[in-house]
Homo-oligomer: A and B are copies of this chain.
């Protein structure tokens, strides 16, 4: 990954992989990143919220709420 030139390169490579998305207010969601757009809206699959074991097929996170994205793989 020494060839990361722009922060969005990191997001592009995370598509299809599991990530943790931290959002405003302190909570976070873990899931497989299916897609994101220029507004940082993110679609996750097989997602769960921090502290919960309940798994949801899909989750849409609004870009304006995103604090960080942490690829797990």
Give residues in A with beta carbon < 8 Å to B: 1, 4-11, 14, 23-26, 29, 34-37, 40-43, 45, 47, 56-72
Contacts and interface: CB of A to CB of B under 8 A. Distances in A.
Contact of A10 (B7, B34, B67, B70): B34
Given A1-B45, A24-B24, A43-B10, A68 B58 contact: no
Contacts of A60: 7, 10-11, 14, 68-71
Identical subunits present: 7
A35 B7 CA distance: 6
Given A42-B7, A43-B7, A57-B1, A62 B71 contact: no
B70 A67 contact: no
